[in-house]
Amino acid sequence: MRRALLALVVVAVVAAAAAIAGAWWANQRLRQPFQAFPGIEQFVEIPPGASTAAIGQQLVDAGVVADVWTFRAAVWWTGQARALKAGEYRFEGAATPIEVATRIAEGRVFGRPLTFPEGLTLTEMAALFEMRGFGTAKEFLTAARRPAAIEDLDPTARDLEGYLFPATYALSRTATAEELVDMMVDRFGSMWADVSKGRDLKGMTVRQVIALASLVEKETAAPDERPLVAAVYRNRLERRMGLQADPTVVYALSKAGRYKGNIRKVDLSIDSPYNTYRYPGLPPGPIAAPGRAAIEAALEPANVPYLYFVSRNDGTHVFAETLREHNANVQKFQVEFFRQQPRANRARSR
């Protein structure tokens, strides 16, 4: 009996020691940095639905982990076996198996950033897309001429002008123009659902709201002025006054290939439905991609009686209710301001 008990004790001690040694060994191995790929970086594309074993084999083949067992042990150790996410991952230098498993579980996919500022047209976005080396402008424009992507919100759209939300997007190395455009439309849809929830469109369609927001975006970058500019255009629409918005003339000239960087008096008569000096009401569609603040201003303009505004030449505007006030502002901030410029330039040159 004593021998049996002693044997059991010995077995238990050996088993405990083995378990401790195994745990220590596993802990050491899982925390040991590993790199078998040449150079400083390696990319691994994990497809949707891949099993832990399949992902482990990809990582082994790429030289990111030593063997499949080690990766599976790291996944078990972190408790995130069901959290592994698809996508392209960039590994730089040596990393421990736990670091690799954690990165994939957290979905820290590789992405090259591409930022679209507010107020760009499709053509300008396409040029930026090409300039940053993501593809050709033609590819972007082709992808942006798929109105079906926005037909649930705007069934009359002929392209995606105004519906590609300006923001920063993280793109994989293999991302296509079509994938990027889909991301931008999805972002717009999410934003619109948020800002329009519970709000009255006041008889306007989504297209009209975004067209108005695009005017606001092009007219001012001052946050406190956006609701005022939106109010001016809303007030003019209610009074059936022409909007006479210079950005619409620029857009019309650009579409005709005639814009040279400034507007001449003769340009105000260009025959285009986008020319709000010649045609009443809003332009037939957005003239640029408005940001969230401009869209919110279009939905909730300020409660003011203004019908006019003119630039102060410092990025802000002065607003007026009557034509007399407006003409006085034009005289002060445009005529007299530019009349004094040559004098100031001459004074500085002395």
Tell me, what CATH number does 95's domain have? 3.30.1490.480
Boundary (domain end) residue, out of 196, 230, 252: 196
Cα dihedral: 15, 17, 21, 22 (round 10): 10
212 and 297 fall within a common domain: yes
Nearest residue to 289 (alpha-carbon basis) of 155, 113, 115, 151: 115
292 and 344 fall within a common domain: no
97 and 117 fall within a common domain: no
Bridging pattern class, strands 87-92 and 112-115: unpaired
Residue 337 lies in a domain: yes
Overall number of domains in the chain? 4
Please, what sign has the CA dihedral across residues 6, 12, 15, 21? negative
211 and 291 fall within a common domain: yes
The burial class, CB within 10 Å (0-12 / 13-18 / 19+), for 217 is buried
Per-residue pLDDT in tens (0 to 9) along the chain, 350 residues = 555 444 444 444 334 433 444 444 556 788 899 999 998 999 999 999 999 999 999 999 999 999 999 999 999 988 887 889 998 999 999 999 999 999 999 999 888 899 999 999 999 999 999 999 999 999 999 999 999 999 999 999 999 999 999 999 999 888 899 999 999 999 999 999 999 999 989 899 999 999 999 999 999 999 999 999 999 999 999 999 999 999 999 999 999 999 988 889 899 999 999 999 999 999 999 999 999 999 999 999 999 999 999 999 898 999 999 999 999 999 999 888 777 776 545 433 33
Residue 66 lies in a domain: yes
57 Cβ contact list (under 8 Å, min separation 6): 68
Interior/surface letters 307-316, b for 16+ CB within 10 angstroms, e for the rest = bbbbbeeeee
Q: Which pTM value belongs to this model?
A: 0.79
Tell me, what CATH number does 328's domain have? 3.30.160
Residue 14 lies in a domain: no
Please, what sign has the CA dihedral across residues 247, 248, 251, 257? negative
| pLDDT at res. 339 | 79
118 and 45 fall within a common domain: no
211 and 297 fall within a common domain: yes
The DSSP letter of residue 55 is: H
| pLDDT at res. 2 | 54
214 and 168 fall within a common domain: no
| pLDDT at res. 24 | 47
124 and 189 fall within a common domain: yes
Residue 191 lies in a domain: yes
| pLDDT at res. 25 | 56
In DSSP terms, 319 is beta-bridged to 309
Enumerate the H helices of 106-242 as residue ranges: 122-131, 137-144, 177-196, 206-219, 226-238
255 and 269 fall within a common domain: yes
Residue 29 lies in a domain: no
- CA distance to 112, 243, 315, per residue, from 120 (Å): 20, 21, 18
Residue 20 lies in a domain: no
Residue 75 lies in a domain: yes
List the domain range (segments joined by +) for residue 344. 307-350
Residue 2 lies in a domain: no
Boundary (domain end) residue, out of 283, 301, 319: 301
Angle between helix 68-78 and 52-61 (nearest 10): 130
Bridging pattern class, strands 41-46 and 87-92: antiparallel
Boundary (domain end) residue, out of 148, 177, 196: 196
Say whether 260 sits in a helix, a strand or coil. Answer: coil
